Amino acid sequence: MNTRKLVYLFFSTLLIGASSGVIVGVLLDLDTYFDGGFLNFFFGVLWMFGISAAISLVAQMGYFAYLTLHRFALGVFKSVKLWNRIQVVLILFVLFDLIYLRYYAFASEEETLAGYAIMPVLLFMYCILVAYWKRKETNRGAFIPALFFMFVVTTIEWVPALTVDIVNDTKWLWIYVTPLLTANTWQLLILHRLTGVPNEKQSKSHSK
């Protein structure tokens, strides 16, 4: 991949992640943005855009860190199947932790474990859909790595928001996770197009 494509990937991811954060931030707090006049709205959007852009930068660092980890793990384990099994175990472990540890850390007596499972389960379902899309556009072997990246890496990037009591609020959790999800989804689904990696059907047609 040449420099032009890298620059495109960087700025497009930054813009998509930041814009999604602004949209969700405004929709979840309409009164704050619209009750103070145009300048209040303008500077509020600008502030949210800056925060979301910073979060999308974290997503970009996480993506390239995972690409490095993935190559390193394949070299260490010498087996795609073994590395995929390890990733599946880690996915399940993170899903459990994302539900139980937040419940243990923040839940009041009135709150239930089921209430703390809603966001992780929705996140997991979304990640499955993205991973399936990646598999469909490339090959079957891309599903587990894509799911691992979308769920585990996104969760790791989300940790600062998950572990601070101040932002243990559904609104702020969505504001933090939205730029991460949109940036990671975009990176995952655009990279093979930028690098020109053929999908499974194209590979079979070329092999005939």
Segment 123-178, tens digit of pLDDT: 999 999 999 999 999 999 999 999 999 999 999 999 887 776 555 567 888 889 99
Average pLDDT, the chain: 88
User: What span, in angstroms and rounded, lies between the C-alpha atoms of 14 and 187?
Assistant: 10
Model confidence pLDDT, tens digit, residues 45-86: 999 999 999 999 999 999 999 999 999 999 998 889 999 999
